[in-house]
Amino acid sequence: MISVTVELVRGRVVTPDGEFADGVVEITGDRITRVDDAAAFAGHDLPAASGIVLPGLVDVHNHGGGGAAVTTGDPEQVRAAARHHLSHGTTSMLASAVTDSPDRMVATVAAAADAAQLGEVAGIHLEGPFLAAAHCGAQDPRHLLRPDLGLARDLLAAGRGHVRVMTLAPELPGADALVGLLVESGVVVAVGHTEADAATAERVLSADGNGLATHLFNAMPPLHHRDPGPVAGCLSAASRGLARVELVADGVHLADDTVRTIFGLLGRDRVVLVTDAMAAAGMPDGDYRLGPQAVSVVDGVARLAGDDGSGSIAGGTARLLDVVRRCVDNAGIGLSAAVVAASTNPAAVLGLDAELGALRIGLRADVVVVDDDLRPLRVMRAGRWVT
């Protein structure tokens, strides 16, 4: 007979429905089997309270970390990046490809699919190549293309069912057919690197009621009262419950006041916190790569390499727990709201909210214990402590 281990984790427990100042999460095997106030566990041999207990975080926009990039076509690089973020509380992440030549993009997706098959990543995010040149950001403009259904099918095939999200510019010729293919394939349509008008952005995001705005405000025209553009379209779709918006709330991509405003406008349930992390996440300043592009990191800020240091922001260097901390400490977002935006909501984007993304009975036991400064102490994935 196989015995199943039962473990109790005690501390300040944060759930989507509220907090327990002194709570306990009961874990049986790889599942959460009870979440309650410590007083309700009378008669149990309870451990001492230790730290703040959060669900494992879910990052749906991540190009690498710990010196490893998911954009090289090397499965071990994908796994190494995932392990780095896992050690800092991200128990599920997508491997995000960037725009590159078709052959290299297919190789990148195939490598990420290998990691997904092993359960190291939760799937693949395609950021490109069907993006607007005028707002390419750190995407290599040499490889930007108009929507091509043949190439899209090749990328989906290389992903072997693991492609979860694709970012595209909906104003490009052929975008509607591409959106149709993605929806038919069960891939979340994300609007980004775009100069679409508000109506086009909103229409595409509303295609299946589960749209996503890729790093809202970044790589798109700013909101203007007479020409509202994609920002307004994304906010409108999200306000109607048909989309969610990514925020890279790391203090570099967005001002803290902007983050606070979007949480105030949309509420916690429509915001998805992401890192847009690249290989330099958790690493010293220096020279790195983001797909085909050379990147220089100075004072923790990644930019396309250039002589004057004024290149486009080229991804992030924070981990998702760092983003949660920034939201709480600098943007004034409540801890529960920030955690929902970094766990429950991204899990819902991926259609995995019945499996992970919260401290709830029946979900996978992904648990992060942090100190009062929201720095990681212990990380559990599927009932096993990994740090």
Residues 250, 261: one domain?
yes
Q: Tens digit of pLDDT for each residue in 56-72?
A: 999 999 999 999 999 99
Per-residue pLDDT tens for 326-338?
999 999 999 999 9
pLDDT at site 81 = 98
Q: Which residues are catalytic?
A: 276
For 248-286, the pLDDT digits (tens) are 999 999 999 999 999 999 999 999 999 999 999 999 999
For residues 41-50, average pLDDT: 91
Same domain assignment for residues 79 and 217: yes
Q: Which of 82, 100, 80, 81 is nearest to 91 (CA)?
A: 82
**Same domain, yes or no: 83 and 18:** no
Residue 355 in domain: no
Does residue 29 share a domain with residue 80? Answer: no
Distance of CA 31 to the CA centre of its chain: 23
Does residue 356 belong to any structural domain of this protein?
A: no
Query: Domain check: are 255 and 218 in the same one?
Result: yes
Which domain does 154 fall in, by range?
57-349
Helices 175-184 and 149-159, axial angle in degrees (round to 10): 30
CA distance 286 to 291: 16
In a domain, residue 196? The reply is: yes
* Axis crossing angle, helix 102-117 with helix 75-86, rounded to the nearest 10: 50
89, part of any domain = yes
366 in the same domain as 269: no
Claim to verify: residue 276 and residue 371 sit in the same structural domain: no
Query: CATH number of the domain that 341 lies in?
Result: 3.20.20.140
Tell me: do 301 and 236 sit in the same domain: yes
**Whole-prediction pTM value?**
0.97
Q: For the chain, how many structural domains are there in total?
A: 2
On the question of pLDDT at 1 being above 60, the answer is: no
In this structure, the strands spanning 301-304 and 90-97 are unpaired
Buried b (16+ CB within 10 A) or exposed e, 299-322: ebbbbbbeeeeebbbbbbbbbbbb
- In a domain, residue 381? The reply is yes
For residue 354, tell me if it sits in a domain. Answer: no
Cis peptide before 129 (omega within 30 of 0): yes
Asked if residue 1 belongs to a domain, the reply is: no
In a domain, 247, yes or no: yes
Question: In the 3-class helix/strand/coil scheme, how is 307-360 assigned residue by residue?
Answer: CCCCCCECCECCCHHHHHHHHHHCCCCCHHHHHHHHCHHHHHHCCCCCCCCCCC
275/315 same-domain check: yes
Phi/psi at 70 (nearest 5 deg)? -85, 0
Asked if 233 contacts 194 with a C-beta cutoff of 8 angstroms, the reply is no
